[in-house]
Each structure stands twice: as structure tokens, then as C-alpha cells.
Structure 1
Amino acid sequence: MTNTRQTTRRRKTSSRRRTSSRSRSSRRGSVGIRLPFLHIHLSRAAIFGGLAGIVVYVWAFYYFFVGPTGFRWRALYGDDKYPEGYEVHGIDISHYQGTINWDRLRSNAMVDGCPIRFIIIKSTEGSSRIDPNFDENFYQAREYGFIRGVYHFWSNNSSARSQANYFLSKVHLLDGDLPPVLDVEHKPKNESVEDFQTDILTWLHIVENKYGVKPIIYTYYKFKDAYLSAPVFDDYPYWIAHYYVDKVEYQGKWKFWQHTDVGKLPGIKGHVDLNIYNGSYYDLMRLTIGNQENVVVAE
């Protein structure tokens, strides 16, 4: 009886050991199957993550430094070089420049040893927005003896006619002011080039009929080449935005060149856009509304 019980216990113990051994073996086999899968899964994630990082880097580099809209972003280290061979300098301003100290700007502002001659001011945007500092800037620019200009920022969310009428309702230029400016930088994705050009011409014609002068078109040269290269636009003075280069790459005629957006001048906190006029001060005066025949050039 005792031997039988011992034999039975040995059989049960042996059975439990075999069962435990099979269980451990099964677990090891399961781990051995899952780990390679996990390794492959992580490797694929790393590969896709790396590729995504490369794509983002290439896109960002193109957009900020190569692409046609790259000029709208601030320079990383500033730009203290000015185009050589030009004597007539100016700036363009909006509420981004804050409250301007006009006394300091008039008395001390110089660019490459030359005084600031003209100031172009943001007025309206679309068919319902006006720059909050427009009235003050518009009044003070003329009061302090600068040649004054005004620009409208084009919006793809409003019709050309409504934008032109809104601009004319808010802006009242006088003889001696520069022709009105249309700042256009974006084309609707779902609109053809021909329809877009028709819209731009509608704005230009309405404003031209009001003031009797051809408005100035402001945009960067790649945009003009792509969307405003029709011969009809060559009749309008061109203000080119082209930053951080020694010379203009645009092959056509141009009147103004916005060459940096990180200018520093007394009387203005922070950065301001710097511009040059492609001609003499006398030529600039002749460009103004009224086209004065007897121009007295102030020194």
C-alpha cells in the first residue's frame, strides 16, 4: 500500500514536472515569436518616422528659403547691407510698427547716408478691414514732409469691385501723393489665371478712373512672372519685393524695390521694410498724382 502510494506520488510529480516544462517551453516559444514581430514593427516605425522628418525638413527649407513666398518671413540674422547705386530711399508701414516717433524719424532717419524720402502706408484689406493706425500714419507722413503713398492688401475672399469701392471710401489721396498701390500676393487655388487677372484689372481700372493715374502693383517677382505676366500689366508701375539679394533678378521694368523687412530706423520700434526708388528724387515727384510740371526738389 505504501509502495503503491509512493509510486502514485512519483507519477503525479513527474507528470506535473512534464506539464510545467511544457508550459515554460510554450511561454518561451511564444516570446520568441512575438519579439521578432515587435522588432520589425519598431524598425518600420523608425524608418517611416525618419522619412517623414526628411520630407518635413525639405518642405520647410523650400518654403522658407527657396519658395516664392519665402520672402514674407523674417530674416534670421538681419540684413545690414543696402543695394548700391540708389539714392532715393523710403519705407512702408502699418500697425505692426506701432506708434511712430515722427520727430525722430524726420530728423534722424537715414539709410546708407541718405534721408527717407517716401512712406507708403497700409490702409485697407479686403472689403471690410482698415489698418488701425492708418489715419494717424496717413496724416503724419504728409505733415512731416514725406512723399506719401497708400496700399490696399488684396483678399481672395472679397470681389474686386467691393474691395476697390471700400478702398476708395476710406482713402482720399491728394495731389503730391503717390499713385494708390495694390498689394497682391496670393491667387485662389480654384481660380484660373485668366479669371484672376480679370479680377486684378477690375480693381486697377476702378481706382484708376477715380484718380486719373495708373495704380502701382506690389508683389514678389516670381508671383508676377507666374500670374501677372500678361503685357497689360506692364503698363502699371511695379513695386517688387525681393529680399536679401545684391540686385534685382526680375528682367522687366520696375519703379520700387522692397529689399529687406528687417530695417532699423530712429523713431520706429522693431523692424521696418526698407525700399528704394529706381530713379531720381525729381522722377519720384513726377510720378505723384497731379504729375506736377514745375517740381521744386527739396534737399
Structure 2
Amino acid sequence: MTKEPPILVVNKPRQTTTRSRKAAPARRREAAPRKGNAKRGRKKKGGERKRNFPSWAYYLMMGAVGVILLAGFYYFFIRPYAYRWKPCYGTKAYGVCLPYGYSVHGFDISHHQGRIDWEKLRGVQQAPFPVRFVFMKASEGGDFSDTAFVRNFDEARRVGFIRGAYHFYNPKTSPERQADFFIRSVKLEPGDLPPVLDIETRPADARKLRADLKKWLDRVERHYGVKPILYTSYKYKTRYLNDSLFNSYPYWIAHYYVDSVAYEGEWKFWQHTDVGTLPGIDNQVDLNVFNGTMVEMDSLRIKPVITDQTGQTDPCLLPKNP
């Protein structure tokens, strides 16, 4: 083996190992986290800028939104029925606070009340606040008969209630057909209350509704010989029946959870609640008052007619109430 000259040994380039070549990128990787630290630093500064919005202002804003939502919920869902929970400073009976100043009480029913125990219900006629009259649904539209009407109508007379029947009007059905259907369904007798037209459904054409209602009323009045009663809410009356043509009819106004009727016109009956309770009826029931005395109610009832030998007719007086 020959030896290399000393000068070549001194000047020979140093060989780099694989390990030293791989170590260089490591230094670059060590510098990389600095960029990340810079980004984190910038994020931190940005977060500090976001926290400039005061936390108390955020909670104040959320509280204001909550108050608005609660106020809206109360106004639309609680306030209309708040009367149910008002303290009763007057007379409480039948599960509600009775309107002040009325002595003649009644109720109205349909098949929704289920099967009624009329013997048990009879006792309310002699209660401290006697219930004297009852209206019941007989028909609806041109072909629907209330399934409980026949039994309820007969039982009400048997146990001594002053009774009446109503028809639920459908603006989409011919008024003549509805009138004829009610006449076939209800046989009113002397001592009964006049027939009732229940009108609640909003019409597509208010003018047509008024014309059709007049047809129903005229047809029924000719048959029974007595002016029918109109049942509706005070708002419906003001909006759709605000016509002198209908002011001559006795009104039965529905207005719940208030101390007095808002309707300023004349009315005979007031349906003041739909959450009454009566013995013999399992479900809640609508309660009503008559705007007058029993003598005045008697004048409203259908009177029997006596024909003498000359062929003249005279209405006789109604028998005294039991």
C-alpha cells in the first residue's frame, strides 16, 4: 500500500456523513414552531380584541330578549284566559265566578258533554243560584244531527228545565236547506225558548252571508211563529252583522273571562264561560245568564195558542215555573 503525500492529506475535502446531512433539516424544523407561535400570538391578540365587548352588555341583551319573549307569550296565550285565575270577589258557584247582577242562570250542551245524568242535574234548579234554562245543539249545516239531541231534549223537559235548540250555521251550504233541516230536526213546544241560529264561521263574502242568514231566519220564523235568537261573539257581531237588519233579533252573546259584556247593543243571553262544572255532567260546560227576570224570560218563550168556538186565537199565559 502506498502512502499519500502529506499535502494531499491536509488538503483533502472532509467527507460528510449521512448523519450530518440529515441533521440540517432538523434545524429548519426547529425554526418552524416559531411561525406557529407567531400565529398563536396573533390569535391571542385577536381574542383579546373580541373580549373588548363587555360581558355585562351581552347578558343585558339576552335578558331583554327573554323579557320580550315572555311578554309576547303572556299577551297572546295567557292574558285572554287570565280571568280564570282572577280572585273571585263576587259569588263563586259551579266552578267559576258568576257575573254580578244576574239571577237567571243556564247552560248549553252538545254531544261533546257525553251522556248526562239528568236526575242528578235536576237539583241545580233548587240550588242557591238556580239554573233554570238549557240550550242544546240540534243540527249543523244541511245534514248533520247532534247525536245526543233527541235524548237531551226530552230529558230536559221531563226534569223541568226551560229548553231551547240551536242550529250551527255553515256559510258554504244553502240557507234554505239548512233551515228545512233544522225544522225537520226540532219540534218546539209551548214553553220552549225560540229557535237559535249559531253563527261563528268567518265567511268568504260578508254581504252574501248577511243575505243568506236573513233567508234562514225568515224561513224558521214563518214555521215556528216566533223571531229566532242569534248566537255569536261580540266581535263577530260587530264585524259581520253590524246591520240594522239584524238588530231586531234577540241576541245571545258569547264573551268569556270578562266581568261584563263588551257588546254595547241589546242582548238577551250572555255565555260567560266555557269551564263551568255541573253535577251530572262529566265534562266542562258553557254557562250563561239571562239579561232580565224570570217574568221577562217567560215573555220570550213560545206561547200556546187556544182556539175558541169563533175561530179566534188568543195566546194563553205560560204556566208558572216549577
Query: Which bin holds the TM-score, normalised by the shorter protein?
Result: 0.7 to 0.9
Shift in Å, 1:60? 6.4
Gaps of 5+ in 1: 38-46
Contact 1:239 1:258 in 2 (8 A): yes
Contact 2:95 2:277 in 1 (8 A): no
1:105 aligned to 116, 121, 129, which one?
Answer: 121
Shift in Å, 1:76? 5.8
Shift in Å, 1:142? 1.3
In the alignment, the residues of structure 1 paired with residue 146 and residue 45 of structure 2 have an alpha-carbon distance, to the nearest angstrom, of: 68
- 1:248-293 deviations in whole A, cap 9, x for unaligned? 3321111111122222222222322221212222322221223643
Contact 2:83 2:258 in 1 (8 A): no
SS at match of 1:295: coil
Which of these two proteins has the greater Rg computed from alpha carbons?
2
Given the superposition, is the C-alpha separation of residues 277 and 186 from structure 1 closer, same or farther in structure 2, using an over 3 Å criterion? same
The answer on 1:158 being equivalent to 2:173 is yes
The answer on 1:208 being equivalent to 2:231 is no
- 1:142-176 deviations in whole A, cap 9, x for unaligned? 12221110111223443433333332232222232
1:95 aligned to 101, 111, 115, which one?
Answer: 111
Percent identity, aligned pairs only, is 40
Considering Cα pairs closer than 8 Å and 6+ residues apart, tell me whether 1 or 2 has the greater RCO: 1
- 1:214-271 deviations in whole A, cap 9, x for unaligned? 2111112122112212111111100111223333332111111112222222222232
Q: Number of paired residues?
A: 285
Given the superposition, is the C-alpha separation of residues 28 and 130 from structure 1 closer, same or farther in structure 2, using an over 3 Å criterion? farther
Farther off after superposition, 7-16 or 85-94: 7-16
Given the superposition, is the C-alpha separation of residues 22 and 122 from structure 1 closer, same or farther in structure 2, using an over 3 Å criterion? same
Given the superposition, is the C-alpha separation of residues 13 and 205 from structure 1 closer, same or farther in structure 2, using an over 3 Å criterion? same
SS at match of 1:124: strand
Shift in Å, 1:133? 1.0
Given the superposition, is the C-alpha separation of residues 57 and 129 from structure 1 closer, same or farther in structure 2, using an over 3 Å criterion? farther
TM-score between both structures, scaled by the size of structure 1: 0.78
Contact 1:127 1:162 in 2 (8 A): yes
For 2:202, the equivalent position in structure 1 comes to: 187
Given the superposition, is the C-alpha separation of residues 280 and 187 from structure 1 closer, same or farther in structure 2, using an over 3 Å criterion? same
In the alignment, the residues of structure 2 paired with residue 51 and residue 125 of structure 1 have an alpha-carbon distance, to the nearest angstrom, of: 46
1:168 aligned to 180, 183, 202, which one?
Answer: 183
Shift in Å, 1:137? 0.5
Contact 1:74 1:261 in 2 (8 A): no
Shift in Å, 1:58? 2.2
SS at match of 1:196: helix
Shift in Å, 1:17? 4.0
Contact 1:217 1:236 in 2 (8 A): yes
One-letter code aligned to 1:293: C
TM-score between both structures, scaled by the size of structure 2: 0.73
